[in-house]
Structure formats: C-alpha cells, structure tokens
Chain A
Amino acid sequence: MTAGNMLLEAAAHAGYYALMTRSSGPQIRGGEAAAMLRIACEPVECMEDRFDVLAAVDWENVHRFNAEIPLGASSLILADPDQGEPPDIFVTSGATRAALPLKKLAKSVPEGRANMVLLGALAALLGLPDEAVARAVEKTLGKRPAALAPSLAAVAAGRAAAAAIETRFPLAEPPPTRRARWLLTGNEAAGYGAITGGVRFVAAYPITPATELLEWMAPALAQVGGTLLQAEDELASVNMAIGGSYGGVPSLTATSGPGLSLMVEALGLAVTAEIPIVVVDVMRVGPSTGIPTKSEQGDLNIAVHGLHGDAPHLVLACNSVADCLGTTQWAVQLAEALQSPAIVLSDQFLGQARAVVDRPPDIAGDGGRTTAAAGTPGYQRYAITANGVSPMAIPGTPGLAYTADGLEHAERGTPSSQAADHFAQLDKRRRKLEAHDFGARWADIEGDAASDRAIITFGSCTGPVREGLARAAAYGVAARLVSLRLLAPLPVTQLIAALEGVTRVLVIEQNHSAQLYKYLRAECDLPGRVTSVHRPGALQFSPGEIHRHLVEWSRT
C-alpha cells in the first residue's frame, strides 16, 4: 500500500492524473492488500477494463483480489520467482510474465525492502522520472530520515533490475501546460466541501467507509474555529448535529448505511422542526453489515423514502472524487437556505479512492439561513410564507423565543392536532423545496444533445458511463448523458426538458433492485422506451462493461 501511494504521488509529481483504489483482507491491520492504480494524461474517474501490470510482492491470499484485478493477453505479471507460481486465474489471462527477485534484491541493500524495489521497477517500466519518484519517497518518509536512504537505494536497485524486462508501458508525455491540480480522496473532498459550505459543528460516530471523512474534519474544523464531537452512537450523532444547528451553527454528520438507518427518525424531526442538517452517507454494500469495504448504490431508497410520514427533504449525489467537494458544499447551502435535512450520497469508491484531479472551480456561496431579526413583532417561527421558508429564530436573539417541535404545530410553533394546521405545514414544507430554483447544478448533462437516446445515471457510475459512452461513440452509439446530482426533490420539469426529443432512455445504476429506475418511473413520465441496467456492488462498473451494454442498447 505504501508503494502504491508512492507510485500515485510520483505520477502526480511527474504531471500525470491518476486514480488509486485499495483493497485489503478482513484482518484489522496488516496482511495482504492490493493497491489499484490508473495513470493517465487526462483526469480519470474509474479503472480500466484491464490492468497493464500486475506487480506482486507475494501471492498470499491473492484470491481475495482476483475479481478486482482483471488482466489480458497484453498485460504483464511482474513477480518474485521465489514466491512461487502466480495463481492460475492470472496465468490463464495469457499475460506475459517477468521475474524479478524482489526479496533478494532488497537484501542486497542494507535495510532495503521488497516493496521499494518493486516501486523502482514499476517506475522504470512506466518511464517515470527519478526525481518524481524520489520526491514521493521523501514525502512519505520525511519523518523517518533513517529509512530514506535505504528506500531510495532499493528503488534504484529495482529500477536497474527492471532494465532487463522487455515488456514496458511507457506513459505518454504529460500535458505540457499544467493546470492547478489536487491529490485527495472523495472523503477529504466532502469534508472540505462541508467547511467551504459553512459547517462548523460535526458530530461523529465511526463507520467504514465514512470514518476518514470525519477524521479529516476533526483537525480541519478546529483550524477554522469549528468543533467536532465524537458521539456514543449514530442516534446521538444525528441528534447532536440537529441540536447544534438549532443553535444556529451549520452542522453535519457522516455515516454509512447502518448508521443512516439509525438516523432516519431524527431526520424526520429535522423536517418537521425545519432544522438544517447534512448527513453524508458514504454508501457501502448492504443490507445489514453487508460488505463494509466495498461500494454499492443501494441506499437510494432509504435516502429518498426512509422517513415516516410525508417528509420532503433533500437528497444529493456526488458523481466524482472532485465532485464530493462541490456537492457537499451545495448540500450545506441548500440545507441552510431551505431549513431542511440534506442527505448526500457518496460511496465507498468515491470516498476512499485517492485521485489527482484538476482543482475544482470555486462555487459561489449563497445567502445562507434566513434568520429572524431581534424583536420582530408578532414573530411566528413556522409562519406560512409564499416560498415556504420562514425566518428562523436563533437562540440568543431577543424577543423571538419559541420551541422547535417534532409535534405538528401551528405557525407559532405550539403543538397542534388540528387538520388545518397539519395541511398548512405539510404544504409549506413541500413548497419550500418545490418552489426553490436549483439552477443548473441539478445534473451534469453531456454527450450528444442531438441524439434521440439518453442515459440517466448518478454517483460513482458516472465515471465509467462517461468513458463507456465516449468509447461507444466509435461504434456509432450516440446518446445524451444525464448524471443526476439532485435526487430529491426530483427536478422533474428540468429532467423532462433535458430529455426533449428522446425516444430511448437507459437508466444505469449499481444496485440489485433498480432503485433509481423505479424511482424515476414513479416520479415522472420518461419519454419513449425506458430500460434499466443495474447490478449490485462489490465491483464497480468498468467502461468496457458499459460499452457492451450501450452497443446492445443501440440495437433496440
């Protein structure tokens, strides 16, 4: 994993874009692990169909990663002959094999390690410059200078030994003019987006794969004057965040499916009491404990429909590592402006993938929460207004004291079991979402606008769909691509307008029950013939898999 991170950073320093995901066994710490990298001259948002090189320090428990490491006849298996034969599944791919005595080479260098030898060999095969690799090694080992010289010597040994390998994968020249680039994970991007959106209070309960988002925020929030509090469970974390936001401080928590399940009752309170709050759900394979370390888009249903009663709220989805920033920031802004809970759907792939991306453009802030002025005459917290948003009294403001309540209430906030109050407040809470102008950010719309076909997708499927569609264009397949960022309230009017002239719609998502497809069909009249491509997680869609689906779809 260390060598994988160093290779990623070396590629970044050399001017490339890159994406790295990781996979490890069930052990808590140590043991077998695999780092998957893709390096390119342009930003990449998913892995390729096949890897060019499989470089193995050893083969211990490698069967756990088989499915995640597809190889082909043009691939290269680089391994230590002293570690035995590669498993059949790799050999039968027809890949070329190259032997490199990693452990022996490591021993030839005092304190040398096999993974650094491997890093040097890979850098040589890819043609990565020495200084980029050295910089990556120095950055990682900067705090352990004693380890630096042996590591660099081991890298040099690997590089030298790789000279004998004929199969090489030289990278093209990196783009000559470099744009401002960042190296980060989706979880870090979401954490930063929360802060740029204005979040200053976070309640945290650890859960894979959302923990790193919270861990990133802990020191970062302190730097901007905010506070992170570890809660005793998710029931507490969501209620703490609601309490903080009731106090006027934009608040957030992050979790995954099991935690979101525990939070939905409190989200209903936030709907009724009209308290802004953001919950980032870094989705993992469910239901129940499922596969905590793998990605799936199975929480769409609970995010949209999980609350009891009629409880309109916001659901957004990030569609790339970099977009975790913008979408989380937007979610905070929308939650604040609309005094509503917002669920942000990220997932394990986006959250834990580490990528070199172009610096995302700054997104303008907005007016934030509408608050009531001190001493407003006849102040009513839940006053019926034209746009449904009522100015919120922040504790400490004179003359506005009220009780925020999960009980249905009259405009003043006093509990009411009157049907008329219930209707009026239900309408108001729905109206404030439906009447809002969400602008152009509700979706990323791209592809061939003249085509009479359209693909609708969301979240981490967007990367492979985008690439699969570009590839299919060479086979005469053309389509519009709509990647939904705003899932609830579903912008039906905008979606129908974006599908103007379309006669075939394909909905692509990563879950077992076509949750997006069913949701779209329930909410709006999609034009023409609508078909669904859906399959569950553990594995991400590959561009090739999407390409095949698109070619097949184009024949219908």
Chain B
Amino acid sequence: MNEADSGTIAPAVLRGPNDYKSDIKPVWCPGCGDFGVVNALAKAMAKMTLEPKDVAVVSGIGCSSRIPAYMASYGFHGIHGRALAAGTGLKVARPDLTVIVTGGDGDGYSIGGNHFLHACRRNVDMTYIVMDNRVYGMTKGQPSPTTEPDWDSKLSPDGTGLREFQPLVIALTSGANFIARGFTGDPNGLAELIEQAVRHPGFSFIEVLSPCVTFRPEQKEWKKLVKPDAFKPTPDMPRAARRMLRDTGFDLGVLYAGERPAFAPRGPRALRAPAELEARFTL
C-alpha cells in the first residue's frame, strides 16, 4: 500500500495496525526506539477504529519528528520546536480532527519549551507524544535538556553539569490534563497509554522512553530499569506531585488523569453574514 492510497479504504473495512502505517521507510537507525512508537500509534488507532483521514499527526524537527510521514493519516512536518503551536492551531481551527503531536526531547523541551508550558496550560484537546532519548540524534549526539549532567559529548566534553529537565513535573504544574510515561520496549503498554491519552479530554502528554542505540548505546539497558504500572492514575494533583518525589525516571503508567474541561472558545458566538459587521463603521 502506498501512502497516497491509504485513506481510500472503505470505512466498513476493519483495519489492522498496518493499515495505519504508510509505505515510506523510516530514516531511523536499526534498533531505534521510535519504531516502537509507530507500532504503538498504529495499534492504538486501529483499536479506536479511527479513520486515517480524520487523524493528523503533527511534528517539528528531529529523528522522532519524522513520524507523520510513516503514518497513513494526514501529517504535518513543520519547523524545529513549533509542533505544538501548529497542532494547536490545527485543532482549534478543526475541532473535528484527532490531533496527535509528536517529537523528541530537544524539539519539545528545549527549542519548544515555551510552547510545552502553554500547551499544558491551554489544555486543547490533543495528545503530545515525546520520544525522549536524552540526546540530539539527528545532529549526531549533543546533550538535550534531559541528558544526564555528566554525559560527555563533542559539544560538552566534560558533561553539561546541568540538572535534567523534569517533563512530568513541568507538565503537572503547567496544567496538562493527562500525564503518562511509556516505554518503546513495551509497545502494547504504550498503545494502551496512547489510547487513553487520545480519549482523555484536554491536553494529554506522554513521555516515552525511546532509546537511541547509536549515540546512547547504554540506553539498551533501559528495558531492565523500567517499572511497568508503577504509576497509578489519580485526578488528585497534590497526590500526583508527591508521587513524583519518588519517581525513578523509569516508572511507567498514568501519573495523572485530571478533570479540567478541554479548551473551548469562550464568549457568545453567532453565525452572521460578514457584511453585518459594516454597521460598526457606518455613519
């Protein structure tokens, strides 16, 4: 199947996960965690029986931001750091679409950090999946905001010495309505998290541990460190915050499932002919 044909499948046909993937071969290195996200996304979409034509996957720049082209739904591969802004505009202009924003830790937490805060706060009904490998992979191995302070690289030969960015804490305090952590080594668990995230109203955030086997080969060990179902979902923010104090960085599951209503335009809305606005100027 090629990408252009993918949406022509009659709605009555039951789609399998593969029907949600395009025929484009990913640019990723063999063993990259991001393959697991494509699989989990496709699985979740199939499970929800979403129409590919009604889903838009939006991204910025980076290895993981290549995902839109690998899905059979509509895609938007924009500029570095601005995926959440583009996704927000799309969802607010087209509330009928399911919008899933994807990207990496550099794209989302560094150059796009401000948009991350405000997307959490704005609580538009969409899902944000960050594939966190604690490195800039596309530019061949520089430290990202989530990189450990003592990780050496050409750009930081003695490590950054900087404390890691805490995406889940930031999301919680900024107002995200659904917060979870997944792992690409567990595509079934991840698919389940994605499904819950998409179904949950408002802004849903999933931090996905997605190993970079090329520049961070030590991350192959993550599969031994992760703790499935360590988080038990709660709508209680203080409780979720306390839970974060014991977070190992490898605890998986839904940390927080809030009850805030999703963003909706406020104030009176009426459908009038544009020409009626003339009365405001007419003498």
Decide whether A and B are members of one complex.
yes
Contacts from A to B (Cβ < 8 Å): 12-13, 180-184, 188, 192, 195-196, 200-201, 203, 219-220, 222-225, 227, 229, 231-233, 235-237, 239-249, 251, 265-266, 268-269, 273, 356, 359, 375, 378-380, 393, 395-407, 412-415
Could you tell me if B77 and A233 are in contact, using CB atoms closer than 8 angstroms? no
Could you tell me if A404 and B77 are in contact, using CB atoms closer than 8 angstroms? yes
Residue contacts A-B, CB under 8 angstroms, 19 given = A12-B283, A181-B283, A183-B281, A184-B280, A195-B277, A196-B275, A224-B274, A232-B114, A240-B88, A242-B78, A243-B90, A246-B56, A246-B90, A248-B93, A269-B78, A399-B5, A403-B69, A403-B75, A412-B4
Could you tell me if A356 and B76 are in contact, using CB atoms closer than 8 angstroms? no
B218 contacts the other chain (CB 8 A) = no
Q: How far is the CB of A252 from chain B (nearest CB, A)?
A: 11
A200 to B272, CA, bound (A): 13
- Of all chain B residues, the one with the shortest Cβ separation from A415 is B69
> In the complex, which residues of chain B have a beta carbon less than 8 angstroms from the beta carbon of A380?
4
Could you tell me if B53 and A401 are in contact, using CB atoms closer than 8 angstroms? yes
B residues 63-101 touching A (CB-CB < 8 Å)? 68-69, 72-79, 81-82, 85-94, 96-97
Could you tell me if B4 and A401 are in contact, using CB atoms closer than 8 angstroms? yes
Q: How far is the CB of B157 from chain A (nearest CB, A)?
A: 30
Could you tell me if A402 and B3 are in contact, using CB atoms closer than 8 angstroms? yes
Could you tell me if B93 and A399 are in contact, using CB atoms closer than 8 angstroms? no
Could you tell me if A229 and B92 are in contact, using CB atoms closer than 8 angstroms? yes
Could you tell me if B274 and A229 are in contact, using CB atoms closer than 8 angstroms? no
- Name the residue among A12, A402, A415 with the largest chain B CB count within 10 angstroms: A402
Q: How many residues of B contact A (CB 8 A)?
A: 58
> In the complex, which residues of chain A have a beta carbon less than 8 angstroms from the beta carbon of B94?
244, 247-249, 395-396
Q: Name the contact of A402 in the complex, choosing from B4, B78, B275 (C-beta under 8 A).
A: B4
A240 to B97, CA, bound (A): 15
Quick one: CB contact mask for B266-278 with A, threshold 8 Å, 1 for yes? 0111111111111
Could you tell me if A412 and B3 are in contact, using CB atoms closer than 8 angstroms? yes
- Of all chain A residues, the one with the shortest Cβ separation from B269 is A222
Q: How far is the CB of B259 from chain A (nearest CB, A)?
A: 23
- Of all chain A residues, the one with the shortest Cβ separation from B69 is A403
Known: A240-B89, A244-B94. 14 other contacts (CB 8 A): A12-B283, A181-B282, A225-B271, A231-B85, A232-B117, A236-B82, A239-B85, A239-B86, A243-B76, A248-B93, A273-B76, A378-B4, A393-B74, A405-B77
Contacts from B to A (Cβ < 8 Å): 3-8, 24, 51-54, 56, 58, 68-69, 72-79, 81-82, 85-94, 96-97, 114-115, 117-118, 265, 267-278, 280-283
- Name the residue among A183, A224, A240, A413 with the largest chain B CB count within 10 angstroms: A240
> In the complex, which residues of chain A have a beta carbon less than 8 angstroms from the beta carbon of B117?
232
- Of all chain A residues, the one with the shortest Cβ separation from B87 is A243
> In the complex, which residues of chain B have a beta carbon less than 8 angstroms from the beta carbon of A203?
89
> In the complex, which residues of chain B have a beta carbon less than 8 angstroms from the beta carbon of A415?
69, 77
A219 to B56, CA, bound (A): 29
A245 to B51, CA, bound (A): 21
| Known pairs A231-B85, A232-B115, A402-B75; A244 contacts B92 (CB<8 A) | yes
- Of all chain B residues, the one with the shortest Cβ separation from A247 is B94
Could you tell me if A239 and B56 are in contact, using CB atoms closer than 8 angstroms? no
